[in-house]
Chains A and B, each alone.
Chain A
Amino acid sequence: MSSAIKTDLVEINMGPQHPSTHGVLRLDVTLDGEVVVNCRPDVGYLHRGIEKLAEMRSWVQFIPITDRLDYLASMLGNAAYVGAIEKLGQIDVPERAEYIRIIMMELQRVASHLVFFGTMALDLGATTPFLYAFREREDVLDLFEMVCGARLTYNYFRPGGVSRDLPGGFYKKCKAYIKKQREKLTEYDDLFTNNQIFIARTRDVGIISGEDAVNYSLSGPSLRGSGIAYDVRTADPYSIYDRFDWQVVTSAKGDSLARFQMRVEEIKQSLNIVEQALEGIPEGELKCRTPQRLKLPEGEIYYHIESARGDLGVYIVSDGGDKPYRLKWRAPSFINLGALNSLVKGWKVADVVAILGSIDVVLGEVDR
């Protein structure tokens, strides 16, 4: 900007009820003309104090609360928490339950990335992709409803297994869905991903280098979009992911477009995993026997999984009793949001929307 004209900085407020903030997030943005010089996220509007609540509930009673953190990926919240309990309590999981879990976790990842796809398009002014993505997500929610009766908060995982079996008709419906989703992905590409306007709005916008992304503790597709192949499923393997043939997708670009593409590619990888799990699933038990009043041995564990948004960690401390002494939820959205300021600095107000969309935060998880 020319020094001949004196300009004042203007502070503007985005949110907390702005549609592009995907929930209740307030951004305190300082502008020089149209250019962002600083952006301070103000969070906590949805804070429910779940870590304190956990200390007042039995181990099993906390499972429904894990549904309400990242509410677009409740199955993965279930998985992280139950996985931590099983590791600390050395509880085995039957083969069939492991396969069912893989199917649920990966379908959940697809459903979550579909919401991302639709909302990011909507943020950039394209309405149709949103409708398309939600149409296909509906099929996944139907599958979840068949399995556990719920469409958003599943409460499906149990220490030692899952709460109920896949119903008759699930395999057929799930296979039909995979086939349909693959066809639709091509349609999405034609309609949106290769759209010139979309590309112009996201390519080279909000770049973060691999080194910076690691330094900011970014995780998930937002980290892999900067060329770092860190995925908890392969870096610190859990469940039975090692039995399937799939790839960790990365892109060296580090821009908003790359972060978008990572998620579209991950949908394809997840569908591959679900397909293989459907082929390989054995008959058998659904849940190991656990005491009605579960107690975990004294000790602690930091357990983590790859959720739809990144490295989801659960840290639990047990004093030998029937409830957690301390529980910490390492929410990837919260930590990813910490990098927002550096991502948007120097970009225009309209780009803030694109960049925020590209890191895909869920405020239920940010605020906990």
Chain B
Amino acid sequence: MGDNIEATLKELFPEMSIECRQIFGVPNFKVGAENLLEVCEKLHKELGFDYLADITAIDWNDRIEVVYQLTNLPSNCRIALRVDLDRDNPEIDSLCSLWKGADFQEREVFDLMGVVFSGHPDLRRILLPSDWDGHPLRKDYVISD
């Protein structure tokens, strides 16, 4: 399944540009922020990617990249989705409607990296106090003693 997933995705979404690169045998797909929910819905409901293993984000100074690790448990097939967001206004659709496991993970990315997940049922800080200033995993976050 891992080999033809790229072809399947391109067939399902002919009008989208979906870039793929292999990272240690795991296909990583670059998806546009506006298409994420639609792609995930297909992956979840039709291609059997039932397990959302991880959500994280990386601050590349010029943009913020959110990375989703997905697994198809019955076939042990792993893929990753990557979305580039505007660093000044990072906003993306929440995946809570598809995977309930996204709830805490999206709150964590919101808390530490400042990505806003629209449609999240309860988007609050989770690890830091509610009155905390800033998002520590941003590269320009200033650490004081």
- Which A residues contact B (CB, under 8 angstroms)? 43-44, 47, 49, 51-52, 87, 212, 214-218, 228, 230, 235-236, 299-302, 304, 311, 313, 315, 317, 325-326, 328, 330, 334-335, 337-339, 342, 367-368
Contact = CB atoms under 8 A, between A and B. Distances in A.
Interface SS of chain B: mixed
Interface residues of B, number: 35
9 contacts: A49-B136, A52-B143, A216-B101, A217-B102, A235-B76, A304-B53, A315-B54, A338-B103, A368-B127
B58 interface: yes
A233 to B, nearest CB: 12
A205 B142 CA distance: 47
B51 interface: yes
Given A315-B54, A335-B105, A230 B78 contact: no
Contact of B80 (A212, A302, A368): A302
B65 to A, nearest CB: 10
Contacts of A325: 58
A337 to B, nearest CB: 7
Contacts of B56: 315, 328, 330
Interface of B: 23-24, 26, 50-54, 56, 58-59, 67, 69, 73, 76, 78, 80, 99-105, 108, 112, 125-129, 136-137, 141, 143
B112 A300 contact: no
A50 to B, nearest CB: 11
Contacts of B104: 334-335, 337-338
Contacts of A215: 50, 99-101
Contacts of A214: 50-51, 73
B54 A342 contact: no
A139 to B, nearest CB: 35
Contacts of A338: 100-101, 103-105
B54 A313 contact: yes
Contacts of B143: 52
B128 A47 contact: yes
Given A43-B127, A44-B127, A326 B58 contact: yes
Nearest to A314: B54
A44 B53 contact: no
A339 B105 CA distance: 12
B133 to A, nearest CB: 14
Contact of B73 (A44, A230, A330): A230
A248 B64 CA distance: 39
B129 to A, nearest CB: 7
A252 B56 CA distance: 31
A47 B24 contact: no
Given A47-B127, A217-B51, 16 more contacts: A44-B125, A44-B126, A215-B99, A215-B100, A217-B101, A217-B105, A218-B101, A228-B73, A230-B73, A235-B73, A299-B23, A304-B53, A325-B58, A330-B53, A337-B104, A338-B105
